[in-house]
Amino acid sequence: MQIIHPLADMTSWSREIIASGKTIALVPTMGYFHEGHLRLMRLAGSLADHVVVSLFVNSLQFGPGEDLSRYPRDLDKDAGLAENEKVDILFVPSDKDMYSPEFNARVLVDGITDTLCGKQRPHHFAGVTTVVAKLFNIIKPHYAVFGQKDFQQLSVIRKMVRDLNWDITIVGHPIVREDDGLAMSSRNTYLSDEERSRALCLFNAIRHAKARFAEGVVDAKRLKSEIRDIIATNSGVSIDYISVVDKDTLSAKKEIDSRSVLALAVRVGGTRLIDNCFMASDTEAINRQW
C-alpha cells in the first residue's frame, strides 16, 4: 500500500490507472478505523480493480463547539488496518492543501439537507458535500462507498452526484453493529462504560419499532411516542430527533410503509450518536442477529 499526501500526486496516480483501463473505488473516511470502515474497504475491493481510502478530518463539517479538536486520530494504526485490507492507496491530504487561505467555494444541496441532522447542524452538510466533491475531482473514482449509518449523508451524496451528472456509482453499505447492536462509530470511543450501556437505547428503540410495524402499527406519531418513552428511561440521554421519513426525499411520513426509514439522534453525555433502520426490512433477522 502506498500513502499519498500531495493532491497532485493523488490525481496523477488516478490518471495513470484510468488510462490503463482499470477502475477505482473510493472509501472517504475521517480515520480512526473500526470494523465498519474495513467492511467498506472490502466492498470497494469487490467493485473495482483498485481501492483508494481517503483519510481527512474535514474541518468544514464541524460546527462551533463540536469535537474537531478531539476527534480521535491514529494514522499508524489506520495505515496498518488499511494495508491488511489490500487497499492500494491511503490518501492523507493536509488541511492547508485541501483548504488554502483563499478557499471560499461551497457545494450546496438544498432540500434534503434541511431536516434531521441538517436541522440540528445547519452548516454540516455544506462541509460534507464540499469535501466529497473535492475528493471526487482529485481521485476521479468510478465507485464511492459510504456507510448507511450516516443515512442522510448517503442520500445527500447520491443527490449531489445525480444533480451534477457525475459518472460515479454511489454504493451504500448496511450498518455494521457491535455484538450488542450498537452501531459502530469512531465516536463510540468517547463513551464511558456506563454511557456505552445507555447508548443501547438506540438499538432497543429500533428493535421495538420494527416489531411494532410487523404487528401492523403504521401511525408514525404513535410509534415515535413509544420510542421517546423507551429512550426517556435512560438517564443522561437526551433526544435530538426521532423521525420517520421517506427513504429518498427524507420528507416526514405520517404513515409507515415500505419506503419509510426510522432515523434517530441522541446525546449520551457529551457524545452525539445517530442510528437508523429501514422499517420494511426483516424484523426476525435483526432479532436473530443480536
In this predicted model, what pLDDT tens digit does every residue of 78-134 receive, in sequence order? 999 999 999 999 999 999 999 999 999 999 999 999 999 999 898 999 999 999 999
- Cα distance between residue 262 and residue 220, in whole Å: 9
What is the rounded average pLDDT for all residues in the chain?
95
Do 23 and 145 reside in the same domain of the chain?
A: yes
- Cα distance between residue 48 and residue 24, in whole Å: 5
In a domain, 169, yes or no: yes
Question: What are the tens digits of pLDDT across the range 47-81?
Answer: 999 999 999 999 999 999 899 999 999 999 999 99
Residue pair 287/207 in contact by the 8 Å Cβ criterion: yes
User: What is the pLDDT at residue 9?
Assistant: 98
In a domain, 179, yes or no: no
CATH number at residue 8: 3.40.50.620
Residue 289 has pLDDT above 60, yes or no: no
Question: What are the tens digits of pLDDT across the range 234-287?
Answer: 999 999 999 999 999 999 999 999 999 999 999 999 999 999 999 987 544 444
**Which residues neighbour 57 within 8 Å (Cβ) at sequence distance 6 or greater?**
30, 31, 68, 71, 73
- Cα distance between residue 74 and residue 76, in whole Å: 6
**Mean pLDDT calculated for residue range 177-181:** 96
User: What is the pLDDT at residue 282?
Assistant: 57
Find the domain containing 226 and state its range: 186-289
| Overall pTM surpassing 0.75 (yes/no) | yes
Residue pair 275/203 in contact by the 8 Å Cβ criterion: yes
Q: Name 242's bridge partners.
A: 264
Among residues 139, 173, 207, which one ends one of the domains? 173
Do 36 and 113 reside in the same domain of the chain?
A: yes
- Cα distance between residue 234 and residue 243, in whole Å: 19
Tell me the helices (H) and strands (E) count for the chain, helix number first.
Answer: 11, 9
74-110 core/surface letters (b: 16 or more CB in 10 A; e: else): eeeebbebbeebebbbbbbbeeeebbeeeeeeebebe
For the chain, the domain total comes to 2
Do 206 and 91 reside in the same domain of the chain?
A: no
Do 218 and 278 reside in the same domain of the chain?
A: yes
Cell numbers standing for residue 231: 429512550
Distances (CA, A) of 104 to 60, 71, 98, 99, 101: 11, 24, 12, 9, 9
**Mean pLDDT calculated for residue range 192-203:** 97
In a domain, 101, yes or no: yes
CATH number at residue 199: 3.30.1300.10
Do 129 and 48 reside in the same domain of the chain?
A: yes
What percentage of the chain carries pLDDT values higher than 90? 95
Alpha-helical (H) ranges within 33-144 are 35-47, 75-84, 95-98, 117-120, 124-139
Active site residues: 37
Do 153 and 16 reside in the same domain of the chain?
A: yes
Do 19 and 95 reside in the same domain of the chain?
A: yes
In a domain, 180, yes or no: no
Do 122 and 248 reside in the same domain of the chain?
A: no
